[in-house]
Amino acid sequence: MIPAHQQPFLRWLQRLGLAFWLPLPLLGACFWVGGGLLTSQVLSRPYGTENALQADVQLEVSLSVSVSLIRAVVNQDEASTLVEVKTVDSALKQLEFEFPVTELSQVEAAIAQELGLSIEEVRRLVRYEIVD
């Protein structure tokens, strides 16, 4: 039997529907603890990868572009050549290369190899600027 001084409190709880809401914090705490345990179990499990990422491999990309102009700036002091290639009818409007050579025949050969053009085509399109 419930003492008389607690009966009004129980009636008040029943009127407000708090009998339903009182167990919710306990239920929430159970979900929180259970979810934490399940999460730590899943995350601590070892897993193997079938495909390993290789970061030391250089990708080779080949593009077919229509070249309109090749500008080569030969820097004798730094022993390098900066090459700018302007293209037409392509999403790629400009390409830049830097080659560690200053001799014109080597520059033309490097450009031809990078762009997949013949040396004659490169000679027809290239404009040189020599910087001391």
Question: What are the residue boundaries of the structural domains of the chain, listed by start?
Answer: 7-43, 66-131
CB contact set of 60 (below 8 Å; sequence gap of 6+): none
Mean pLDDT of 3-7: 68
- CA-CA distance, 82 to 128, in Å (whole number)? 10
Mean pLDDT of 111-127: 90
| Backbone torsions φ then ψ of 29, nearest 5 degrees | -65, -40
Mean pLDDT of 8-16: 71
Q: Are strands 66-75 and 80-88 parallel, antiparallel or unpaired?
A: antiparallel
pLDDT digits (tens, 9 = 90+) for 15-65: 766 666 778 888 999 999 999 999 999 888 887 766 666 677 777 766 677
pLDDT digits (tens, 9 = 90+) for 61-91: 666 778 889 999 999 889 999 999 998 876 7
**Which CATH class name applies to 66-131?**
alpha beta
- CA-CA distance, 11 to 57, in Å (whole number)? 75
